[in-house]
Chains A and B, each alone.
Chain A
Amino acid sequence: MNKDLNMKVNVLPVLTYGFLKVNDSTVSESDIKIDSFETPDASKMPQGVDVKRGVDFAKAGEIFIKNKDRIMYTTGEFAGPNADTTGRNDGQAIRTGMGIDVDELMISAGAKCDIYTVEENVKVSEPVIIEYKMKDGEGCISSQVIHAKKDSEISVILVYESEKEFGGFHGISTRLLAEEGAKINIYKIQMLGDKFIHFDDIGGACFKGGSIGVTTLELGAEKTWTGCLVNLVEKDAELISNMGYLVRYNNFLDVNYIADQRGKNTNSVMHAKGVLMDSATKVFRGTIDFKNGSSGSAGDEQEDTLMLSPDVVNRSMPVILCQEEDVDGRHGATIGQLGEDLLFYMQTRGIDEENAKRMMIRARLDSVARTIPDKELEQRVIFYIQNII
């Protein structure tokens, strides 16, 4: 089935100058090709996880709709920033980084959702591993809901891969709910072929003392859109995100990460580090949003981009929105090539420029890969990184 529509995705929470071309992005209808709607069977499924397969996408969102007042609750009086765009996603069961157009695609295409639930106080020690092994020309969209009930823990690893020369379409929507004291850690490793079109959308909410960890590695695909919005709803809720990326050739990566901090003493950490080569283009939007009522909260966003070709394009939008006095928000960005001092140091140790660059690329990507909580998969990813550079 070929869908006939353009998707407006990764809309910046507040609009800015049009000439920067960061206010949103478009997944064009010609990129979308769908002939499969299902999440593959998990290659590792530890005990303690209840799975419901093939649930209708909208129906799977009911858990968020049931909690919507709680998720969107703010103790203070909300006054939006200039050119606030967040209202456009109000129709979502849970707001996501890429936004409502992904939900509409999922619903209109009839995508299915798998729901992974962990009961109260159950701490699942081993990760769930789901591997998409894409064939050439294949088009797939699928969705998951991960629901960690009070004081439970779950880790889920999603791997998307294909042969290097393959092309196709792959779209994922993952929605997360961490109840009081619950922890969800999700890892997404994208190793798709050079002609793949890929999107990966995440939305989540953390209740009191809950924690969501999002680790992503974007290593392949011709065009990639990824978004993540986590609502830190109640006291001591936390988002820790860690992204690594390598964008090469004429490829394109478009990112929109948002921490929506509503509860007191919430904490968000968003780190992204990556490498741009050849004629690659990358857009990174990262927003820390301190809503009124989030007193005592902290947000830290850091971006480190290594540019290794004169033809790359790097656009960055590190945004902090703040309607609360007692917060500590900061962001930093370092963008450039390898420092001359570092290169000189390497050369004095007998390492030439090309090898020094390879080491620096690996250092950035391996530091993310080493957090994968499955040794075999970690080694596979590190081997993949070693091969592609």
Chain B
Amino acid sequence: MQFWDPRIEEMPQADLKKMQYKLLKSLVCRLYSFSPFYHDRMKEQKVHPDDIRELADVKKLPFMFKKDLRDNYPNRIFTASQEELVRYHVSSGTTGKPTVVGYTQKDIDMWSTSIARGLTAIGLGRGDVIQVSYGYGLFTGGLGLHYGAERIGATVLPTSVGNTERQVELMQDLEVTAIACTPSYLLHIGEVAEKMGVDIKKDTHLRAGILGAEPWTENMRKRMENWLGIKAYDIYGTSELSGPMFTECAEQNGFHIWSDIALVEVIDPKTGESLEPGEKGELTLTMLQKEALPMIRYRIGDIASVDEDVCPCGRTSPRINRIQGRVDDMLIIRGINVFPSQVEYTLMTIPEVGQHFQIVVERKGALDDMLVRVELTKEAFSDKINDLMLIRQNVEHRLRNALNVAVDVELVEPGSLPRFEGKSKKVIDKRVL
């Protein structure tokens, strides 16, 4: 059994909690003193750093939401100056404005360390060739896994997404042993390989997949493992916390949330009350060591439960089991988070279409396909098919820019989309995972 940081990964749980308390206390003191945002938040909540006397006192602290990042676009709640930052990542926001995450060198190091521990836990290391087929760029997946894989001394093949035939050729030629990408992209790679006459099981050295950025199931795991002859591991994270950062270990039974990096709570999404280990609720994470953008009790919106038992692999940190859903209506399309409110916001700026819309998500082959149905307004109706095609292209273009994901648009007759009283159901998700 390999460990990257055996001292922390195997630390007795009582010691881990002591360490977490110290980190939390110092974080709270620092933020209360130096960050107007956190200072005001704590004042509103009537909590002072002196009130944090044990780890359980984390419950006294106010929650944070994605909205806080959006409202403070681009960098107003950063607690490091621009000179201290070494990188930005940007993800699309829920309504137009994106969210920006800044990283100091230490933030990048902690992120890479977290991934390095996970990759080590699944048996990867020096001598492995890791193909990173997550998107590189503003999205955190590509660079996150890249730095983590380099950290353990593996050889990185930074293929990013796309040009799948070439990805298969390189996988063979450079004897790739592990791939990091979304589960749906790995399925796509598998299908393309088959068409090329390449049997990934027999014709390549691939033996592990680090798959995340979108939900998948145990069924998909079994299918991919049998079909491709690999072990498939889940990885969890979100850009607000750095990016993908917590993987399963060889046991394949939950993400290890490293206690020196994050404090995980599960709460009742309605009341905000803390739930017991094993109970299902909304994941709430406090990043204990982040410098540029600390997140305290950040409500991610994912539903899961926490297992605090020591893992059979020997690691003592708590584990989150598979994500079981969302508290909101967020969709994940080809690894990209999409909120129906973003669609609504974008459509409102296009006079040719009405405010009503319907999103239909399907899985065609291995890839997600998102269709947005919109009503053509009376004023925009033209007798010429070309004009109508241009309207549709424009809507597709605008949605693509806002969501960072390709969208098909269908123009429908006014009044034909369902109207809802109260909570609307604007999303039809036909995907079977």
A binds B: no
Residues of chain B having any CB pair with chain A under 8 Å: none
Which residues of A approach B to under 8 Å, CB–CB? Answer: none
